Amino acid sequence: MTEPATQAAADLIWDCWTTHRRIVAIPSEIAPATRRDGYAVQERLGLRSAAPLFGWKIAATSAAGQAHINVDGPLAGRLLAERIIANGDDIPFTNNHMRVAEAEFAFRMGTDLPPRATPYSSQEAIAAVASLHPAIEIPDSRFDDFTIVGAPQLIADNACAHYFVLGPATVADWRAIDLAAHHAIGSVYHAGGGREQRQGVGANVLGDPRDALAWLVNELSSLGITLRAGETVTTGTCVAPIPIEAGDKVEADFGVLGQATARIAYAR
């Protein structure tokens, strides 16, 4: 992609994100053709943020999720500071298209992992982690039909990033726990009454949340990007996404690892 096309695509996605509108696709004359093109657009999108990068997300971490959006592997996206919601607070719900909540394992990094020629192992990635957190993601897309645009445009769309809730750091000895076998429960308490609950395990996230973290580290490394100390990586939903509506309360319960909560705000 040319520099002007990359910038124009990023400007378009940013405008759609901030004005709550959607498009069929990025116009062909400025559309990313490869994953690397998509990441170049995403990088420009991230530069529109006024704050330091909060961290990274992974989308399509299961075979079913990849099939659903017609991609052949996971996608990385940026977590922008303006889109981080404090645990227990309200999440804006204006014109949300996906309308789902996801329960996720998240890692806050304690050490930089710079790009290198050899891949990082899961053990190396986990050794660089400072803390483990329960988390909630409320994704969204700037496309009318995100299942048909393909990986380069989904990456340019920041891998469907939207709002993110980071729960408190777990006080449990999480390094001694088999995270692949660890259970999580995602619950939505509906404003009109009733509860919808879905259960999952860490293995639903690329086989193990620790392996998902290593995937993210290596994806960034291939792009010449350092995963920095202080940044948070959320590893993808370990439960089937749960439908949400305004007024609902969302809870991600990871047992001894803790809980994250948020409320879906009514439109103002």
CA dihedral for 167, 266, 158, 65, sign (positive or negative): positive
Which pLDDT tens digit goes with each residue over 36-87? Answer: 999 999 999 999 999 999 999 999 987 767 877 788 899 999 999 999 999 9
Look over the chain and give the mean of its residue pLDDT values, rounded to a whole number. 95
* In contact, 62 and 73? CB cutoff 8 Å: no
* Number of residues written out for the chain: 268
Which pLDDT tens digit goes with each residue over 98-134? Answer: 999 999 999 999 999 999 999 999 999 999 999 999 9
Q: Would you call 224 helix, strand, or coil by DSSP?
A: coil
CA distance 98 to 141: 7
Which pLDDT tens digit goes with each residue over 153-208? Answer: 999 999 999 999 999 999 999 999 999 999 999 999 998 889 999 999 999 999 99
Site of tokens 């995100």: 146
Q: Which long-range contacts (CB under 8 A, 24 or more apart) does 198-201 make?
A: 198/239, 198/240, 198/242, 199/239, 200/103, 200/237, 200/238, 200/239, 200/240, 201/238
* pLDDT band per the 50, 70, 90 thresholds, residue 94: confident
Which pLDDT tens digit goes with each residue over 2-25? Answer: 999 999 999 999 999 999 999 999
**Tokens in use for 230?**
């202080």
**Tokens in use for 102?**
């996801």
Instruction: With CA atoms as reference, report the closest residue to 236 among 187, 149, 171, 164.
Output: 164
Fold held by 53-264: Fumarylacetoacetate hydrolase; domain 2 (3.90.850)
What per-residue confidence (pLDDT) applies to 264?
Answer: 96
Q: Which residues contact 2 (CB under 8 A, 6 or more apart)?
A: none
Which pLDDT tens digit goes with each residue over 135-157? Answer: 999 999 999 999 999 999 999 99
* In contact, 168 and 182? CB cutoff 8 Å: no
The model carries a pTM of: 0.95
Instruction: Return the axis-axis angle of helices 35-47 and 3-19, rounded to nearest 10°.
Output: 60
Rg (CA), the chain: 17
What per-residue confidence (pLDDT) applies to 203?
Answer: 97
CA distance 261 to 103: 10
What per-residue confidence (pLDDT) applies to 182?
Answer: 98
What per-residue confidence (pLDDT) applies to 267?
Answer: 66
* pLDDT band per the 50, 70, 90 thresholds, residue 89: very high
The two beta strands, 259-264 and 249-253, are: antiparallel
